[in-house]
C-alpha cells in the first residue's frame, strides 16, 4: 500500500470525498499520535490510518477511541491539525461548538443487544453540558450530534476534523458496502458547528 499522507494533507476534503477511510480506534480517550494514511485501490480500496515506520511520512492526528458500553471524550488542541474517530456503526458522536478547542465525544451503549439510543443521548448531553452551559442562551446544549443507530445497514459513518486558521471544521463521511464487500464513498457532509 502506498503512503498517501501528503496527498491527504494537500486536500483533506477532496481526499475524503472520493476515498473511504478506515480508522479502527478501539481504546478509551483521545490520543495525539504521529500517523500515516496508506491507500492502494488495487489491493484494498479503503485508506488505512496507521503508525508510520521509521523514516516514513506521517503527521500528527488527534484520534478519539471507542469501546463497547463506554464513552470516550477529549479536547482537541493545536497539537494536531487532523482528527479522526472510529467508524460509527450504531453509536453517537458529539462535538461542542467551540472552534478553537472543541470537546468531542464518542459513545456506544446497548441494552439487550440493541443500541440504547436514550442512554447515548443522555450521556452526550450530560458530558457536553458543563462545557457548553456558559456559551448557551437556552436549555439546549450548544453541540452538534451525529447518531448512527438509524442508518441503513450497508452504510458506515466516519467523522473527521481539519484544523485551519479559523479553527476546527468537522465532516461526516458516509460510506456504503458495495457488492464485493468493499466500501465506497456515498457522501461527505460538513457538520454544522457554527453558533
Instruction: Report residue 165 as a C-alpha cell.
Output: 486558521
- The domain ranges of the chain are 2-190
How does residue 140 score in pLDDT terms, banded at 50, 70 and 90?
low
Average pLDDT, the chain: 82
Percent of the chain with pLDDT over 90: 22
Burial class (CB in 10 A: 0-12, 13-18, 19+), 39: buried
pLDDT at 136 exceeding the cut of 50:
no
pLDDT score at 44:
72
DSSP-based three-state secondary structure for 136 = coil
pLDDT score at 138:
46
Do residues 148 and 85 touch, judged by C-beta distance below 8 A?
Answer: no
Cα distance between residue 93 and residue 91, in whole Å: 7
Do residues 22 and 87 touch, judged by C-beta distance below 8 A?
Answer: yes
pLDDT tens-digit series, residues 15-66? 999 999 877 777 888 889 888 898 887 777 788 888 888 888 789 999 998 8
Q: What pTM, to 2 d.p., does this model score?
A: 0.85
Show contacts of 76-80: CB within 8 Å, 24+ apart.
Answer: 76/30, 76/101, 76/102, 76/104, 76/161, 76/163, 76/168, 77/101, 78/163, 79/32, 80/32, 80/163
pLDDT at 142 exceeding the cut of 80:
no
Residue 190's closest CA among 166, 169, 165? Answer: 169
pLDDT score at 133:
44
Do residues 101 and 76 touch, judged by C-beta distance below 8 A?
Answer: yes
Instruction: Report residue 110 as a C-alpha cell.
Output: 446497548
Amino acid at each position: 500500500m502506498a503512503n498517501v499522507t501528503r496527498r491527504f494533507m494537500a486536500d483533506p476534503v477532496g481526499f475524503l470525498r472520493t476515498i473511504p477511510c478506515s480508522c479502527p480506534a478501539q481504546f478509551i480517550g483521545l490520543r495525539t499520535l504521529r500517523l500515516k494514511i496508506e491507500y492502494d485501490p488495487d489491493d484494498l480500496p479503503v485508506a488505512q490510518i496507521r503508525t508510520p515506520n521509521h523514516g516514513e511520512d506521517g503527521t500528527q492526528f488527534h484520534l478519539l477511541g471507542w469501546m463497547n458500553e463506554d464513552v470516550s471524550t477529549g479536547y482537541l488542541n493545536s497539537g494536531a491539525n487532523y482528527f479522526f474517530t472510529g467508524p460509527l456503526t450504531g453509536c453517537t458522536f458529539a462535538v461542542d461548538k467551540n472552534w478553537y478547542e472543541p470537546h468531542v465525544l464518542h459513545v456506544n451503549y446497548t441494552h439487550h443487544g440493541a443500541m440504547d439510543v436514550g442512554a447515548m443521548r443522555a450521556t452526550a448531553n450530560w458530558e457536553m453540558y458543563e462545557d457548553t452551559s456558559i456559551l448557551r442562551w437556552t436549555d439546549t446544549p450548544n453541540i452538534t450530534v451525529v447518531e448512527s443507530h438509524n442508518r441503513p445497514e450497508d452504510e458506515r459513518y466516519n467523522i473527521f476534523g481539519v484544523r485551519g486558521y479559523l479553527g476546527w471544521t468537522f465532516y461526516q463521511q458516509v460510506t456504503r458496502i458495495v457488492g464485493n464487500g468493499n466500501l465506497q464513498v456515498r457522501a461527505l457532509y460538513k457538520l454544522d458547528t457554527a453558533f
